[in-house]
Amino acid sequence: MILLDRVSVMYPNKTVALSGVSLHINPKEFVTIVGASGAGKSTLIRLLIKEEVPTSGKIIVGSIDYDTIDKANIPHLRRRIGVVFQDFKLLPNMTVFENVAFALEVSGVSNREIKRAVPKILQLVGLSEKMHSYPSELSGGEKQRTAIARALVRNPKILIADEPTGNLDPKNSWDIIELLLKINRFGTTVLLTTHNKEIVDALKKRVVTINRGRIIKDEKIGKYSL
């Protein structure tokens, strides 16, 4: 569960990025967040991964109250939430396998467990054949699949996909959306931001529309309309 209660964010330069945002997302939901550039989507995502703190309001994710979480627990929180970005953020000098394995290594997972978990997740995202390729040898869609595998390998409850199709052609975009739907069917909450009207309208899922830091629409089966 993700709960935001009257959350506002004002940056030090006095820009109000979010204003009184209340949002309730149930476990296993698939929610798309739309909004023009500058609407506040990235700020919302940065709040959820605790890279940003609200100026006022309350955030609770799962059983974690963001006001009372201590510093030592932030890495734990970040493991519960996987994030993928438009620009993939892969490490160029590591293979697909190593990029995914790295996410486990930094959390102290044993080599034995890494050798078990990584091939499994690469199979899920359809990348078994590319395990030993470097990012420069991959298509955009394959890079995004690697990023998704890296986010998923730690078994997050929530997957945030911030414009995951922004750098992809239509065919690869649909493949990535299909993959997110599959991940959602397996029980992971998915939070997607996108500017792609066709995708939003075809999804027929919940759509939250943000405009100038406020939620102006929240529809169970939403359409893209800015």
C-beta of residue 121 within 8 angstroms of C-beta of residue 152: yes
Q: How many beta carbons lie within 10 A of that of residue 113, not counting itself?
A: 10
* Nearer Cβ to ligand ADP (98/218): 218
Q: How far is the CB of 39 from ligand ADP (least distance, A)?
A: 4
Among 4, 7, 34, 40, binds ligand ADP (CB under 6 A): 40
Give the integer Cα–Cα distance in Å for 65 and 116: 33
Among 15, 56, 110, 155, binds ligand ADP (CB under 6 A): 15
* Nearer Cβ to ligand ADP (96/192): 192
* Nearer Cβ to ligand ADP (80/214): 214
138 binds ligand ADP (CB under 6 A): no
Among 7, 17, 153, 203, binds ligand ADP (CB under 6 A): 17
Phi, psi of 94 (to 5 degrees): -120, 145
Backbone Cα Rg of the chain: 17
List of residues 6+ apart from 50 with CB closer than 8 A: 66, 69, 74, 77, 78
Residues within the interface to ligand ADP (CB under 6 A): 11, 13, 15, 17, 35, 37-43
